[in-house]
Structure 1
Amino acid sequence: MTNRINEIVLASGNKGKVAEFTHLFEAYNISVHPQSVFEVPDVPETGTTFVENAIIKARHAALLTGLPAIADDSGLVVDALNCEPGIYSARYAGEHGNDGANCEKLLRELGNSENRRAKFLCVLVFMQHAKDPTPIICQGEWHGEITKEASGEGGFGYDPIFYVPSQKATAAELDKSLKNKISHRGQALVSLMQQVKPLLKP
């Protein structure tokens, strides 16, 4: 591909993700647009892994907009629950995006288990076009433990019950800039930028 990239579609309508990517790419004079701007509907996540689902979302957004696309798929993996909720993290309790219900179900399922090890996983996929045969795939992991009760008002998802030993706080109690730097998504973004930089418009 000889043309430099100056626009990217984000296969998400999540305002937090849009702001994060916009900030990252503004130094390169690259415009980041959420797929909702183009009225791109969500695509069924039929994959069995984070990688598969991220590729499905990126390809869908690139196909319908004609722009390079970035998509992520992320979730929580808990050792004692046989890696659940995994790819079903956002709809663990049955309703997509019901953070409170998801956290409550996870704490209930884990009960008083002494093994509370867990990790957040994030897979980012960048596709130059819908038929890109070699999408860039990056992964980040954030290790921690599941608390016995929620704590903190920041973040979203499972952040209030995800304890980060190195910070002596839950993800929901961390400063936003620090969280973005050390989180699973933050790590994946650093890796992604290293590989995408050569494609960006100078």
Structure 2
Amino acid sequence: MKLVFASNNQNKIKEIQSLLPDTIQILSLEAIGCHEEIPETANTIEGNAILKANYVSEKYGYNCFADDTGLEVEALNGEPGVFSARYAGEQKDASDNMDKLLDNLKDKTNRKANFKTVICLNLNGEQYLFTGIINGKIITKKIGTNGFGYDPIFIADGYTKTFAELTLQEKSAISHRGLAVKQLVDFCSKL
């Protein structure tokens, strides 16, 4: 089975391909000639995943899936949420985003947070949603060099290392994206 993954984020593509069985081959947006920026204008994580999947299916005619992920921090009423990638501005700089988040949390004792990934699969005219959530906390400084995004400041419940200290395999086994992709894989393996 070939599916387009509606992302230009090479880190995400690598992470997701490593989770999929050999029977599912991912095509990148570049591989199908999609070089434009896909609009992410919804006000929810689910909405953005649906927008991206629909864009590829409608414009290019491929079965595809898209994900959207957000970090939701309890003490900040769910921020940065749907704005996680551009929390500190349109430059989408991970270090700037983490700095802003840490600054906004400096006077807060509640550090509870969760990562949420929603995958929208458009397959043969039908649409399916898969959601993965991992709970944890935001620490006070960046630790680790693996991963991407907010990984250096997030520790999952039951762990002592940040996502950025875990290997790709360790992170994928427990992460929000790993949980959502597992649901996608389980679904596709029953087809």
Q: Which amino acid aligns with 2:28?
A: P
Alignment of 1:175-194 (within 5 A): 175-194=167-186
Which SS does the other structure have where 1:137 is aligned? strand
Which TM-score applies when normalising by structure 2? 0.93
Alignment of 1:155-194 (within 5 A): 155-194=147-186
Unaligned segments of structure 2, at least 5 residues: none
Residue of structure 2 aligned with 1:127, choices 111, 122, 129: 122
Which 10-residue stretch deviates more, 76-85 or 89-98? 89-98
In 1, distance between residues paired with 2:143 and 2:16?
Answer: 27
| Larger-Rg structure | 1
Is residue 2:69 matched to residue 1:77? Answer: no
Is the alpha carbon distance of 1:136 and 1:47 closer, same or farther for their aligned partners in structure 2, counting shifts above 3 Å?
same
In 1, distance between residues paired with 2:68 and 2:153?
Answer: 20
Output one character per residue of 1:89-140: Cα deviation in whole Å (capped at 9) or x when no partner.
00000134300000000000111311000000000111015xx3x4110000
Aligned residues: 190
Where does residue 112 of structure 1 map in the other structure? 107
Identity rate, percent: 38
In 1, distance between residues paired with 2:29 and 2:48?
Answer: 16
Which 10-residue stretch deviates more, 36-45 or 169-178? 36-45
Unaligned segments of structure 1, at least 5 residues: 1-5
Is the alpha carbon distance of 1:118 and 1:193 closer, same or farther for their aligned partners in structure 2, counting shifts above 3 Å?
same
Which SS does the other structure have where 1:13 is aligned? coil
Give the superposition deviation at 1:31: 2.5
In 1, distance between residues paired with 2:91 and 2:122?
Answer: 26
In 1, distance between residues paired with 2:15 and 2:100?
Answer: 29
Which SS does the other structure have where 1:46 is aligned? coil
Give the superposition deviation at 1:55: 0.6
Which TM-score applies when normalising by structure 1? 0.88
Is residue 2:11 matched to residue 1:34? Answer: no
Is the alpha carbon distance of 1:161 and 1:22 closer, same or farther for their aligned partners in structure 2, counting shifts above 3 Å?
closer
Give the superposition deviation at 1:26: 4.7
Residue of structure 2 aligned with 1:137, choices 129, 132, 136: 129
